[in-house]
Each structure stands twice: as C-alpha cells, then as structure tokens.
Amino acid sequence: MRITISAAVTVALTSVGISQLSAQPSPAAPDTVPFDDSFAAFQTLPGQDDVAPGAVDIRTITPPIEIEQEPTTRSLGNGVASYYGRRFHGRLTANGERFNMNAMTAAHKTLPFGTKVRVTNPRNGKSVTVRINDRGPFIKGRTIDLSRAAASKIGMISRGHARVKMELVE
C-alpha cells in the first residue's frame, strides 16, 4: 500500500511497518509565488507610515480608563449595635468559621452570610464595613453585634452599645 504524504515525500507502507522513505523533488506549480513576494500586500510603500493599509496601528489605541466606582448601598435603617469579643474569640460562628474578634465581622439575625454592611455611628460620623458571619444578637432591642475591632473603629467600646445607621453594600 502506498500513501502520499506530500508532493515531496512518498512513503511506502507494508502490513508490517514502514519499508521505504523516499524524498522526491516536487515539480514547481505554475501558480506558485516565491516566498518573498507572498508578503508584498503587507509591505508599505516609501513615504507611507509604517502601518500597512487596513492594519490597526496599536500605537494610537488608548486603553479604556477604569474608574473605581463607590459601591452602591441600600439603607437597612437604624438600630442599636453591641459588640462581642474575648469571651467568644476562637469559637465557631453560625456559618462554621472561627470567630476572630480582630476581624471586621458581625452577627445579624436575618441577613445572609457573607453580606457586607456599612455601619455608621452618627454621634461621631465614623463608619466601618463588616461581613455577616454569625447569628445574633440575642438581646431584645439590639439589631447587630459587631466584632471588637469593628466596634473600636466606630468608637463604641467604652459604652458597649450605640445607635447606628446600617447600609447594605452591593
């Protein structure tokens, strides 16, 4: 059985394997263009810019400027915040991770785990963004329990609780 791989190489195969490999010069086809002339359409003429017609000059493309936008927020209303710290440090939270009193986390009764909430203390204008990772607070009248670090950022450590404004960060 003979199989022609290209015009230049012919291979003879038998049922056992390859028996012959021969290189034969191929006749030049009449419509074949020499290699150097095949790129003539992409070359520029003297006096033209160094960009071929129809090609894109990447030196003139300005990449789009990405503007960081302020995250959108939705009001969750006002409420009373408290904090929890040392006594619960290292214990498992409701979502299964260990509570870290130095992380920016919080407990809320109904918000889904992973939700980001901006908590603002209107008395001093300080705010912090926390991630919901636990359930609570379990004291009547309280809306959110902040970690000790988050409570410290908005200045409510000395009182232990504060009226806060809450916004859902999207």
Per-residue pLDDT of the chain (170 residues; tens, 9 = 90+): 555 454 444 444 444 445 455 555 555 555 665 566 555 555 555 555 566 777 777 777 777 888 888 888 999 999 999 999 899 999 999 999 999 999 999 999 999 999 999 999 999 999 999 999 999 999 999 999 999 999 999 999 999 999 999 999 98
Q: Is residue 149 part of a domain?
A: yes
Q: How far apart are CA 129 and CA 136, in angstroms?
A: 18
- Structure confidence at residue 7 (pLDDT): 45
CATH number of the domain where residue 99 is located: 2.40.40.10
Q: Is residue 134 part of a domain?
A: yes
Q: Look up residue 16 and give its amino acid.
A: V
Q: Is residue 45 part of a domain?
A: no
Q: Is residue 15 part of a domain?
A: no
Q: Is residue 162 part of a domain?
A: yes
Which domain, by its residues, includes 142?
Answer: 73-169
- Structure confidence at residue 164 (pLDDT): 98
Q: Is residue 137 part of a domain?
A: yes
Q: How far apart are CA 20 and CA 9, in angstroms?
A: 11
Q: Is residue 12 part of a domain?
A: no
With a CB cutoff of 8 Å and minimum separation 6, the contacts of 164 are 78, 79, 80, 81, 119, 120, 121, 122, 143, 144, 154
List Cα–Cα distances, 83 to 10, 76, 126, 139, 160, in angstroms: 83, 19, 16, 12, 7
- Total count of domains within the chain: 1
Q: Is residue 124 part of a domain?
A: yes
